[in-house]
Amino acid sequence: MHKSHARSRAVARSSLVLAALALGCRADDGAGAGSTGSTGAEATGTGVVTGAVGSTSGSTSGASTVTPTSGGPDLPPARACNGDPALCERRFDEVVFPCTHNAFSARDDGFQKINANQHHGVAQQLADGVRCMMLDVSDDAGTTVLCHGGCALGRVEHSAVLADIAAFLADNPDEVLTIIYQDDLPVERIVADIEAAGLAARTYTHEAGAPWPTLASMMDADTRLFLTAEVGGPPPAWFHHVWDLTWDTPYTFHSVDEFNCELNRGSVDNELFLVNHWVSTVIDTPSEPDAVTANAYDVLYGRASKCQRETGQLPNFVAVDFYDTGDLFKVVRALNGLP
């Protein structure tokens, strides 16, 4: 082949390679855009940028709303931490997690209308995108169970719920979960079930005063379960007393007009913030009709962002009844500054 022809073809091949690399770089730029969280937003006290999205309608499922973007033509998809690559390098205390109040108390699992706070059980909640669950653990005839009110109105064995959580974590290595126990049992009984489920090895231990890890580092260490309790505490070190690390709003409201951001438990100096956001009936039972209004985007985002402005703290856990009604997942994405 003539040398000038060979040189021309080599130059052409080089140009094609450079063009392909340029396209890959542009794909990378698009994948990282969400990490800035700059959707017309305000900065939080933790340095995370948050903001609302333009529409007030959307899917109720948080698990399938994000598809990891490509890192380039010859690279694997970008890692998605709790559903989005933009969350991977954020610290745990810089992330908002969708949370279910009395997560176990579900109509699908036999709880009665008078005391059911959710439609679907824990396994379905995890599949749909819930990443924080509030569980009431107690004793029923010597068995460690989850009940809301009298166990005659519905009960689920603690070990069964932990089995669902263990299976989810095993199948989903890029997810971080939180449990907040209302514990009416000795710590030892709860810990025994956690160990029997094989979850103790996956728990995260937070040391007082230490910086919180990023979601990616929790995943790399496979310490992806953050366990807390309202009454008990360590030991073991991974069984945290929630009010040493978290503070929350009141939780008894009988209309959306009563919602506020006042301190209920814990200390405002704590690094994590729980917003309790549900409406109860006048006899303090779950109100499914009120969830339609309470979980609507304008109401839920409006209250959570108001609490953030008033306190200077990101609402790390946004807890609701009937999570599949309304816009919980869309609100959490907006609070996380994600499109």
Q: Render pLDDT for 15-26 as a digit per residue (tens, 0 to 9).
A: 433 343 333 433
Per-residue DSSP letter, 203: B
The yes-or-no verdict on residue 241 having pLDDT over 80 is yes
**pLDDT class for 72, splitting at 50, 70, 90?**
low
73 three-class SS: coil
**pLDDT class for 78, splitting at 50, 70, 90?**
confident
Distance of CA 171 to the CA centre of its chain: 17
Under a CB-based contact definition with an 8 Å cutoff, are residues 66 and 84 in contact? yes
Range in 53-67, 185-199, 229-243, 269-283 with the lowest mean pLDDT: 53-67
| pLDDT above 90 coverage of the chain, percent | 76
Place of tokens 């698990």: 63
176: its two tokens? 């971080």
| pLDDT for 77 | 74
Q: Render pLDDT for 127-162 as a digit per residue (tens, 0 to 9).
A: 999 999 999 999 999 999 999 988 999 999 999 999
Mean pLDDT over 315-334 rounds to 98
227: its two tokens? 């366990």
- Exposure string of 41-56, with b = 16+ CB inside 10 Å and e = fewer, is beebebebbbbbbeee
Mean pLDDT over 68-76 rounds to 57
Q: Render pLDDT for 7-17 as a digit per residue (tens, 0 to 9).
A: 344 434 444 33
| pLDDT for 71 | 52
| pLDDT for 117 | 98
**pLDDT class for 299, splitting at 50, 70, 90?**
very high
Mean pLDDT over 39-63 rounds to 38
State how beta strands 155-157 and 239-241 pair: unpaired
Nearest partner of 40 among 56, 57, 52, 24, judged by Cα:
52
CATH numbers and ranges of domains, the chain: 31-335 (3.20.20.190)
By the 10 Å C-beta count (0-12 exposed, 13-18 middle, 19+ buried), 27 is classed as middle
Mean pLDDT over 256-270 rounds to 98
CA distance 89 to 102: 30
